[in-house]
Structure 1
Amino acid sequence: MRPPVEVSVFLLSLLAPGVLFTMNNIPAFQEPLPILGMGMFILGSILLLLLLTVQDKTKVDPLFYVFAEFSFTCMVGLTNALEQDGFISGFMNFYIKMGEPHLSTAYAVMMSYWEGLVHFSLFLTMIHRMFTGKSYRSLGLLWAGSSIAQQIVFIPGVVIGKYGSNIRPAFWRNVPFFLVPFWAASLLFSKPREMPVITADKIAEEQKKGLLSRPADLLLCLLLLGAVAFCVFRGFVVLDCPLDTCFTYIYQYEPYLKDPVGFPRVMMLVYLFYAVPLLTVLIYGLKTPGCSWMLDWTIFLAAAMAQTQWCHIGASLHSRTPFTYRAPVDKRWAVMTLNVVLALVPVLLALRCHTNPGYFMKPVPKGQADEEKKKK
């Protein structure tokens, strides 16, 4: 009797540390090109083993191969994080030296923890739901938002940061990891949305309420406006705005924003040009009834900002960040509180949309709502 597919994927992923340890102790893999070649070979071999794992299945969702392949790389990331923080040794030296030296930075370490813990858990859960006939769309959107945010900060950050002049061939293995989440997100968004069953009269009743009669939504709107203002402000800060307020903030509150690794600068620009428009659209959706797309995009943005804020907060405190760029001790609690709130606001909005989605359902014709009332 074969084990469940998610168990097979879990066991296959556990091979990652052994593969890394072996490569770390073979002299041939101390050069850039062999590292890239072996990396591609290993990923191809994993795909072949996955095909054998599900060969008895009549129809396999193509996203299974994405989730399972990425599960293996999640264990690579977790191994890297544990080694950089000194918990283990002898696994990643060769790769940091000749593959991707930027993976030793504080931001990359925090990113690796997120991959190894959050993404890996999501992958196994989604694979389990996939093969038991349950929907995994919402979990998939969580992963897609998180993964896309990770890649659009990580890859440009490497290129424009201090490691941009030392890019090795192994860096290009990130290209498929950048492109595939976009393709996966398009598939997930095109799947039918999981809509709860709510009677027409309840939907009509919810949608009659103005924003002022919904105090929780009003508070969320104010918090979203605050998040927009904070993102715009920090965007100006990293663009070297000459205002005294910006100068004071970057030197006395968040010096990590000028860390030459490049990741914090790119992240603030991503917030300015992508998160701010999305947050603004979500404010509109919160005050306009019938915006059913809120149920998807709140999940997507909540995951994206949780991932980036985790990396940003962790890196600004991490010992691998030079002391001059870490959060100042006397301002630490104020800055960390702002950053934690920024991460929580989209999460709270997503929870609000999914716990009481009636306001965001498609408007029901008045006649249909009246019929529902008569039946009662």
Structure 2
Amino acid sequence: MIYFSMGELYLNTAYGTMINYWDGTAHYCMYLMMVTAIVWNQGYREIGLYWVGSVMNSIVVFLPGNIAGKFGADLKASYLLNMPYIIFPLLGAYRFLQSRKPVNIPKEQLKLRQNKSIFQRPFDLVMVIYLVLSCAFSLLRMLAAMDSPIPFAQTYVKFYEPYLLDPVIYPKLQMLVYWFYFTPYRLCAIYGLLYPGCEWMSDWALIHAGAAIQGQFSHIGSSLHSRTPYILRVPINTRPTFWVINLALLVFPQLLAWRCLTKPAFFVKQSNKPKTN
């Protein structure tokens, strides 16, 4: 409690509480899994990419929010303790992305999978629809967080997510991350689901899934937390809609990552090199 009051005051906010919960549970479990894999001499690339996405989303929102929000004038030297959480995930991301191994799938199976149109792959079609809708919804929430005078943005922030206007500024930054970082990825993922041979899909789907679950966990929890002013919490009568929207934004990235990992044939680039005797 002394550290919270004398060191990092912003950890007493609803958002600070939620990221501490996430660090102490989800990130801790990821660390244990990676350490166990190292001890057993096994690979941990997938969980590493997932961890990179989760940590980077947390840091991209948390560190600027500490400076730009209402606690910016009370920063202490303890703020610098967060710097390693920038360096190590970036180094890890570079290493994991550079260590991708080729997937060995028979050429006949590749042709069979990759010759199917999007309408012959119902799960992928659902993912494309989700990605399109999530891009549109990210624009709506970004406008609402920036207090745009556009009527539908004002209606959304008033009746569904008033937490977006919290002066701690974390929700605004999260919505900006969703729009300026998640949306370009989602557009690329739509391309990857429509056209075969995009080998990067599995790696970036894992990073996106880790970032999405961390961002949504913190956002959902903060929107309902007792440390958020009552007038900025989600109204009781619109909470069912709030839960449906935000859980969809949490669950669908996990399903996309699962699809890319378990059935990667569509994303394998076919080799055009002729065989030599």
Letter in 1 for 2:79: F
CA distance in 2, matches of 1:211, 1:190: 30
Mapped pair 1:128 → 2:31: no
Q: Which residue matches 1:138?
A: 46
Match of 1:279 among 186, 189, 209: 186
Q: Which residue matches 2:209?
A: 302
- Check the 8 A contact 2:225/2:233 in 1, yes or no: yes
Mapped pair 1:254 → 2:254: no
- Count the aligned residue pairs: 275
More contact order relative to length (CA 8 Å, sep ≥ 6): 2
Deviation at 1:367, TM superposition (A): 7.4
Higher CA-based Rg? 1
Deviation at 1:239, TM superposition (A): 2.1
Q: Which residue matches 2:97?
A: 189
CA distance in 1, matches of 2:126, 2:273: 30
- Does the residue aligned with 2:62 lie in a helix, a strand or coil? helix
CA distance in 2, matches of 1:187, 1:364: 25
CA distance in 2, matches of 1:353, 1:267: 25
CA distance in 1, matches of 2:100, 2:169: 39
CA distance in 2, matches of 1:180, 1:366: 38
- Check the 8 A contact 2:103/2:268 in 1, yes or no: no
Q: Which residue matches 2:240?
A: 333
Which structure 2 segments of 5+ residues have no match?
none
Aligned-pair Cα RMSD in Å: 1.4
Deviation at 1:364, TM superposition (A): 4.2
Q: Percent identity?
A: 38
CA distance in 1, matches of 2:106, 2:16: 48
In the superposition, the TM-score normalised over structure 2's length comes to 0.96
Matches within 5 A, 1:175-214: 175-193=83-101, 195-214=102-121
- Check the 8 A contact 1:203/1:364 in 2, yes or no: no
Matches within 5 A, 1:104-119: 104-119=12-27
Q: Deviations over 1:293-329 (max 9, x none)?
A: 1010000001101100000001111111111111100
- Check the 8 A contact 2:142/2:175 in 1, yes or no: yes
Which structure 1 segments of 5+ residues have no match?
1-92, 369-376
In the superposition, the TM-score normalised over structure 1's length comes to 0.71
Q: Which residue matches 1:158?
A: 66
